Structure 1
Amino acid sequence: MPLSEALQRIADEWNAPMDIDPAATEGLTAKPVVDARSERDAVDQATRGLPVAVQISDDGRIAIINELVVIARLNEAEDNVLVRGATSSSRLGQSLREQPRNTQVISSKLLERQQAQTLTEALANAGGVVANTATVQGGVSFSVRGFDSNGAVNGLPSASSSTFAAGTTLPLANIERIEVLKGPDAILLGSDNLGGTINIVTKKPYAEERLHVTAETGSFGLARGTIDANQSLTRDDRLSARVIATAATADRNFGGYRGNEDYLFAPSVRYKNAKSDIIVSATLGNQLFGVVPFTVMNRVTGEPYDIPDGQPLIGGKDQGVQIETTQFNAEISQEITDWLSVVARGQHQTINFALRQYSPFAILDNNGLLLVSSSGTRQTSENDTVDAFGRISFDTGAVSHKIVAGMTVVDSKVRAIYAGDGGLFPYNFLNPPATLRPLARNYNLSFDLDSTQYGYYGQYLIGFGPVHLVAGVRHNNTTITSAVSGGTPVENETNATTPNYGAVVDLTDHFSLFGSLAFGYVPVTTLDRSGNTLPDIRSRNAEIGVKWDLFDERVLLNASWFNIRQTNLLDRDPVDPRFQISVPGQQGEGIDINVSGRPFRGLTVSAAYTRTNYKFLEPSNTLGNTVNGQPRDVYNVYASYERKIADRMKAGIGASVSGRSSSAIDRLDLYRIPAATFANLNGFLSIGDLDINVGVRNLFDAENFNPTRSINYVPLGEPRTWRLTVGYRFF
């Protein structure tokens, strides 16, 4: 039966007036209607799977119209500095503006203008975040508000490779935005992330034709090429695909070690309509990094040793790490009814990590003698994560409600193999010997670490007028199994329940107050000398602040005061140094301000400032009196101005100043890393579809050192370098 005739019969039978658009029903045949309970049920059965939309007015009148076409669009983070949309970091469907926490988004548009190449460079825009490049294991990690964070990718916890936190090795070419979430977030990720989270969101397909090619060159023989191709695959634009590929190489890094190589292939497919959004993607990467250039402290002068430019402290050029990444992601968001949505996300990640470098483990005297390791490691990390939840939204009178319930399963396997022919040996870098012990080659000592985490969570958001209150709770069950070199596996199980509370009060349409009380934890399986398991490490973050939309919502300001407190930490047992004990933890209290947007035509701004006063809850002779590796002040200011100078021609300039205060190296505050400030400058020109960007980093060639917790490994900051990027949009 023709659809128009079937709908008219339904209207007559149920005595329900109905608006039927003839153009919408023309040529369509109705589906069978069986045992309909109401006119709405009958209409739903008759139109199921047909390209029409059913609308219900406030008075209950049914209208059948042409189906609304909803397709995927380019995410705002790829075209703007200010990002307002919903985020994978909130299961309640909130934007970062709506969440009761201090948040900061670093968009890919900003990173493109700054010519950022690594996550460390990108996170220079974030207040309260400190990148840790000072590790003899050759890794890069980061801390948020003084606590190490494992991070997340697309809102899911991910595997770490050695000391590389999740996401720190992802090429920026495939990153849509970086969300800096301040404060612990056990609700989102379960364990770890005591002080905050870096959520890395990868790029997605959209329903437009695009081919953008960029080429980059710069200091130390840098050469990089990137292709970003996007295409709608169907006539209705619901199915689209995207491929991002990049290849990069360099002759060396500024410390004289091997040049970085970076290879990425990242295809993705997306289906989107009015009720469904399905994304499947892969990330295949191979990266080779030279050792982060470093020096050591002079214990007599209390200053870092000067070393010749471009010369490794120990050994030759061919030292570094290799990371091979294979990652698959799938996400399904489905609107079941106008009040119920379900989301399911899955991620598989395999990381192969290999380290070859000479690592200084101790300073033996004041005349340049070091204790050096020639050992290496190879590690494979496999991580499978599934997260699924349902979200219910409804109103009762003037009160709105959102309820979320779901679960997360994380299965992680880490297998590390250490060199058996490496070892420690003395080495004087001021008077190096004629020959140097070769780096290890035989790997036969293994360590296995398997963990399975089951997390069950719920959240409730209630709103009445300008007041929005949220509460959440998560229960985690974690099983950790470890084995050394084929020995008997040791299994430990931990359970933890963590709550989370927040409130947002909209005083005006553009000005809001917020407050939150959030908790985090890290499961501990370490035994003390009596054979008892030490207590889990927990944190609590109390925060109040404001969110202010300025310049007709073109600029967003976040400002807050926070107090983050760690219950306990692990320290060396003074009775038997082979074991650890639990001692009172640390506290950080401070202010956190960030602002981003386009206040005027052509002007873009992004700035962040964090001041945190750290202290141990109970200083002691063994623990020390100073929280090390954490500068009190971290800041960044970026501004750019672009202006049209002719038809299809624009030119602009961008500049940034970033830095940090001095920080203690050791917990007794005997040695410090000096304060550092450095400036970057970019000039850009667009002529039609051609984009040119010329940049100088560390414009004034300021000497700087990165924060560290070891006097025998002081990472050097990059000297003045230049970069040239040329991009062309073919369509």
Structure 2
Amino acid sequence: MKLQQLLSSVLLTGSVPVLMATPAIADVVQVTGVRLEETPQGLEVIVETAEGTAPQVFTTSYGETFIADLINTQLRLPDDQPFRQENPAEGIASVTVTQRNPNSIRVTVTGTTGLPRVEVMPSATGLLFSLTAETPTAQTPPETPDVPPDMEMEPEEEPDTPPQMPEPTDEIELVVTAEPDTGYRVPDATTATRTDTPLRDIPQSIQVVPEEVIEDQQVIRLNEALRNVSGVTLGNTRANDTETFTVRGFEDATILRDGIRQFSFGGTQETANLERVEVLKGPASIVYGSAEPGGLINVVTKKPLPQPFYEIEASVGSYGFIEPSIDISGPLTSDRSLLYRLNTLYRRSDGFRDFDQEFERFFIAPVVTWLISDRTELTVELEYLDNIQPYDRGLVAIGDEVADIPFDRIFHEPDDFVETEEFKTGYRLEHGLNNNWTLRNILWYSNTDLFLRTAELGSVNEARGVVSRSTREFDIYEEAYDIQTNLVGEFATGSVEHELLVGFDFRRSFQDLDLQQAFAPPLAPPPIRIFDPVYGFSLPDSEDIPQLFDGRSQLQQWGFYLQDLISLTDNFKVLLSGRYDIADQKATIRQTDFFDGSSPTQSDDAFSPRVGIVYQPIEQLSLYANFSRSFQPNDITFGGDLPEPERGTQYEIGAKAEFLDGRLSATLALYDLTKTNVSVSDPDNPGFSIALGEQQNQGIELDIVGKILPGWNIIASYSHIDAEVTEGFFGIPEGGKPPNVAENTASLWTTYQIQQGNLQGLGFGFGLFFVGERFGDFQNTFKFNDYLRTDAAIFYRRDNWSASVNFKNLFDIDYIESGIGRSQIKPGEPFTIIASVSVQF
């Protein structure tokens, strides 16, 4: 068949992508114009390029919408705006052409009564989309033997007037790889391998919470996003000024920002500039160095866009909550080689607890990307955060349960506060050596300064019904330098394909702690009554408070890693990787009223392997298994010691499946995970560690995410964890349970948006979040009850604006979100409403 005949005979139904060969990948195609012309059959969309070159095209569809992604292209329209036309022809609701990312354009066509039929072909000026609107009386073309029913094609016809085309220099190849719209489902992630890898090819459980979920749930704190993921619960919140997470039953999961480790004393993660959150289950030391064996959390931030984008949002809610925010992006130069993005917000709230100190936060994050050449890209980032809020240890326990008191009652002084200031900056450089090999380099600097003054809570005297208190002033400064360099490449040895990652990273960090504390009157406040508290104690001046601890700890760590994702066949893959770490620690304890000066040091090295296999008996199913280990240096104890490093070992098997033509995916995982040299946070001395032991967790997890029907999204999870202390530590006997680890947790969040008619754009959301019974302390002396929290939402989205109202804890239940010890129990928020309006232009 002639090339021209082949092109004119391919009639897409929106489920068969077309790939058109183009010049070398380095030659970015410039789209300079978009025209619409009505035809007797419907409509033609003419995409004009600078040299009449037809770019690569991948197509897909959902509902009444056809989507085509033009690869290696940039939008250069005269008015410097995306193209949009409403109701351009009968049966066509809209046509849009927008810049999807720095080197990809998206063409979207939406029908009024059904999915338009689209024929794609080169034209004399670039690319031609011939649209035929679907009508209720339209007949389905006859089925051909070689084409599935959902990919039917029109019979071949010789057109009356052949389209004008330049003489092609390359063949045009048809690739049948359907890629439907998947709603909440994200098909690829970078956290598991440091490369953009399909989730179905990764022999490890990894879950992604996309930006759509973050927006639909009006997520303010990272915990609200992570409750959608199996096996992840909120851990120690210290004084409600930070968030740590328990993954697969192990606390203090490592938190990364775009692959860079965050501080242990940093404030709560800001969600305003998040594109998605990726959770890698199990040991991850192989690619990120020291890490907890339960898993790690990687927050992925928003990047600059080549097309102008402006969004203003305002939110108000219960307890005096207000939050204006801005997200703007676009090119800084006419050739779009310099791009920027800026996210900023201000937030304040009174909170539901009876403090005089309010919550107040300012956040700003500018990012600039320089497209130095077609193969080289440099991104420079900066983040600044200032947050002040009440210092709040929460509720207390009496007997075998939480004290029966109002959840808004406090035991600190009403004006106690904690303030955190964070600064982060650095660059990311990526250079394509050729079409197969890429070199990446990251240099990152960060610091955080935390300061607090409070009437600190101590032990609970149940007989007297009081909580002891002390005066505490704590100042901690952390600073870190990170360097990461790696080389990623693809090559083949015979019929075996390889994706190789080789690299090293270096981190130098230190903490400077100054702790002043008074335990007895008149410098310390008197005990406070649990059922009838009396406030009014004035904290003494700083110079009058005795210095309890003054020290500095340093960590210097090198890591060298090698990873090879081997495709032995199209459906059988092996992941082999190993990492060697060298860690040097030093603690300098200055002489105080309570400590003599000392300088303990420790040097450790470890090899962490990972072996995984993936077998795909059919395209929609991946079966996997893995073995991996983790390594993590321990923090300093209150006595000034440096315990031996923690080691984790995991065995895991699982299955990943796709349903509904790839719109819905599910992951089932079973694991056995052991951690030795366990060191846990000291509940009486924040910032320090205590004890050693061994813990073994076994469990099963199920995650489901995607789109059930057009407009109907879902994300759901279930986790069962059998956590057991196999070598006693800190008062937990062998066979005991670690605190704050529920045996069963589950979540469900679903939204539906009306797709057509007068109510098109109106949507509803509904969520259920269940956490089972948990022990509240290391000694297993009391428990937190299980709870089922219900959330709901109603929203309306039309054109460039949206409005939403979210109802959190709809039935106003009392529940405990997390806790560690009898005087550090975080109550969950009561019924809360947040309303938001945003405009894009």
Q: Give the distance between the partners of 2:803 and 2:72, measured in 1 at CA.
A: 40
Instruction: Tell me, yes or no, if structure 1 residue 672 matches structure 2 residue 769.
Output: no
CA distance 1:356–1:94, shift in 2 (3 Å) = same
Task: State how far apart, in whole Å, the 2-side matches of 1:183 and 1:516 are.
Answer: 10
Question: Aligned partners of 1:209, 1:426: CA distance in 2, in Å?
Answer: 59
1-structure distance, mates of 2:551, 2:338:
45
Cα separation, partners in 2 of 1:251 and 1:473, compared to 1, 3 Å: same
**1:484 aligned partner:** 589
Q: CA deviation digits over 1:479-519, x for unaligned, max 9?
A: 11211236453322111111111111122111111111111
The CA deviation at 1:359 is 2.6
Q: Identify the residue that residue 359 of structure 2 maps to in structure 1.
A: 260
C-alpha spacing 1:383/1:522, structure 2 compared with 1 (3 Å): same
Bigger Cα displacement from structure 2, 535-544 vs 418-427: 418-427
Residue matched to 1:407 = 504
> Which residue does 1:205 correspond to in 2?
304
- If asked which structure has higher relative contact order (CA below 8 Å, sep 6+), I would say 1
Q: Do the aligned partners of 2:240 and 2:393 also contact (CA within 8 Å) in 1?
A: no
Is 1:631–1:707's contact at 8 Å kept on the other side of the alignment? no
Residue number among 405, 410, 416 corresponding to 1:312 in the alignment: 410
Cα distance change of structure 1 residues 277 and 483 upon mapping to structure 2, 3 Å threshold: same
1:457 aligns with 2:557: no
Q: Are the equivalent residues in 2 in contact too, given 1:134–1:709 (CA < 8 A)?
A: no
Give the corresponding residue for 2:665: 556
Aligned residue number for residue 288 of structure 1: 388
Q: CA deviation at 1:453?
A: 0.6
- Which residue, 494, 497, 500 being the options, matches 2:604? 494
The corresponding residue for 2:453 is 356
User: Relative to structure 1, is the Cα distance of residues 725 and 533 closer, same or farther in structure 2, using a 3 angstrom cutoff?
Assistant: closer
1:156-177 Cα offsets, whole Å, 9 max, x none, are 223321xx5xxx6231111111
Query: Secondary structure at 2:212's aligned position in 1?
Result: helix
Task: Report the Cα offset of residue 535 of structure 1.
Answer: 3.6
The alpha-carbon distance between structure 1 residues 727 and 434, as it changes in their structure 2 partners (threshold 3 A), is closer
Partners of 2:370 and 2:484 lie apart in 1 by 20
Q: Determine whether 1:225 maps to 2:324.
A: yes
Provide the C-alpha distance between the structure 1 equivalents of 2:191 and 2:651, rounded to a whole number of angstroms. Answer: 23
Partners in 2 of 1:136 and 1:250 — Cα distance? 17
| 1:213-236 per-position Cα deviation (integer Å, ceiling 9, x unaligned) | 000000011110011111123344
Counterpart-to-counterpart distance in 2, 1:261 and 1:527? 32
One-letter identity of the residue aligned with 2:100: R
Aligned partner (choices 147, 150, 156) of residue 254 of structure 2: 150
Equivalent positions of 1:373-452 (< 5 A) are 373-419=470-516, 426-429=526-529, 430-432=531-533, 435-436=536-537, 438=539, 441-442=542-543, 445-452=549-556
Structure 1 pair 726/92, CA: closer, same or farther in 2 (3 Å)? Answer: closer
Match in the other structure for 1:617: 726
| Counterpart amino acid of residue 438 in structure 1 | L
1:707 alignment partner, SS class: strand
* Cα contact 1:630–1:707 (8 A) shared by 2: no
Residue pair 1:449, 1:482 contacting (<8 A) in 2 also: yes
- Residue 323 (structure 1) aligns with: 420
Q: Spell out, residue by residue over 1:539-583, the C-alpha distance to the aligned partner (whole angstroms, 9 max, x if none).
A: 1111111111211111221111111111333599xxxxx997644
SS in 1 for 2:811: coil
Contact conserved, 1:475 with 1:495, CA < 8 A, in 2? yes
Structure-2 separation of matches of 1:644 and 1:724: 23
Match of 1:180 among 258, 276, 279: 279
Are the structure 2 counterparts of residues 439 and 719 from structure 1 closer, same or farther at C-alpha, using a change threshold of 3 Å? farther
Displacement of 1:291 in angstroms is 3.6
1:36-115 correspondence to structure 2 within 5 Å:
69=73, 73-74=100-101, 80-115=183-218
The answer as to 2:766 corresponding to 1:685 is: no
CA distance in 2, matches of 1:270, 1:461: 30
How many residues align? The count is 660
Match of 2:42 in 1: none
Q: Deviations over 1:105-156 (max 9, x none)?
A: 1112211111111112222212111212453595431121122213111112
- Letter of the 1:229 counterpart: I
Q: What residue in structure 2 maps to residue 342 of structure 1?
A: 439
- Asked if the contact 1:375–1:440 (Cα under 8 Å) also holds between the matched residues in 2, the reply is no
Indicate the residue corresponding to 1:32 in structure 2: none
Pair 1:244-2:343 in alignment: yes
Q: Which amino acid aligns with 1:469?
A: V
Classify the secondary structure of the residue corresponding to 1:112: helix
1:159 matched to 2:263? The reply is yes
The residue type paired with residue 637 of structure 1 is: L
Segments of 5+ residues of structure 2 without an aligned counterpart are 1-21, 28-50, 56-70, 76-98, 107-180, 592-596, 682-687
Which residue of the other structure, out of 521, 539, 543, is the alignment partner of 2:648? 539
The question of 1:627 aligning with 2:738 is answered yes
User: Aligned-pair distance for 1:640?
Assistant: 0.3
Aligned mates of 1:79, 1:256 — CA distance in 2: 44
Separation in 2 of the partners of 1:620 and 1:447? 26
Residue identity matched to 1:332 = L
Number of the residue aligned with 1:124: 227
How far did 1:687 drift? Answer: 3.5
8 A contact 1:254–1:293 mirrored in 2 = no
Are the aligned partners of 2:201 and 2:622 in contact in 1 as well (CA < 8 Å)?
no
**Cα displacement (A) at 1:636:** 1.0
Distance 1:218 1:137 in 2: 20
Q: After TM superposition, give the deviation of residue 373 of structure 1 in Å.
A: 2.4
Distance (whole Å) between structure 2 residues aligned to residue 276 and residue 526 of structure 1: 42
Sequence identity of aligned pairs in percent? Answer: 21
Q: In structure 1, what is the Cα distance between the partners aligned to 2:648 and 2:656?
A: 24
* SS in structure 2 of the partner of residue 111 of structure 1: helix
Alpha-carbon shift at residue 435 of structure 1 (Å): 4.6
Measure how far apart 1:428 and its partner are: 2.9
Query: How far apart are the structure 2 equivalents of 1:620 and 1:339?
Result: 51
Separation of aligned partners in 2, 1:670 and 1:611: 22
Secondary structure class of the residue paired with 1:463: strand
Aligned twin of 2:123 = none
Which residue number in structure 1 is paired with residue 178 of structure 2?
Answer: none
User: Please, what TM-score do these two structures have when normalized by structure 2?
Assistant: 0.73
Rounded to whole Å, the distance in 1 between the matches of 2:218 and 2:23 is 54
How many Å separate the matches in 1 of 2:583 and 2:656? 36
Q: Deviations over 1:69-94 (max 9, x none)?
A: 46883599x99522223425423442
Q: Which amino acid aligns with 1:73?
A: R
Distance 1:581 1:699, change over 3 A: closer
Matched residues in 1 for 2:386 and 2:830: separation? 26
Equivalent AA in structure 2 for residue 474 of structure 1: R
RMSD over aligned Cα, in angstroms? 3.3
Instruction: Give distance in 2, aligned partners of 1:709 and 1:491.
Output: 29
Counterpart of 2:249 in structure 1: which amino acid? Answer: G
CA separation of 1:397 and 1:52: change in aligned 2, threshold 3 A: farther
Give distance in 2, aligned partners of 1:451 and 1:554. Answer: 45
Q: 1:447 to 1:150 in 2, by over 3 A?
A: farther
Deviations 1:151-207 (A, max 9, x none): 11111223321xx5xxx6231111111111100111122113221001111110111
Contact 1:262–1:286 (CA<8 Å) still a contact in 2? yes
1:196 to 295, 301, 308: 295
Whether the 8 Å contact between 2:242 and 2:268 is mirrored in structure 1 is: no
TM-score by length of structure 1 reads: 0.83
Q: Is the 8 A contact 2:732 2:780 kept in 1?
A: no
State the secondary structure of the residue aligned to 1:191: coil
Match of 1:669, SS? coil
> Could you list the per-position Cα deviations for residues 262-320 of structure 1 after superposition, in whole angstroms to 9, with x for gaps in the alignment?
21111111234653333221111111233446211122xx232233454423321x223
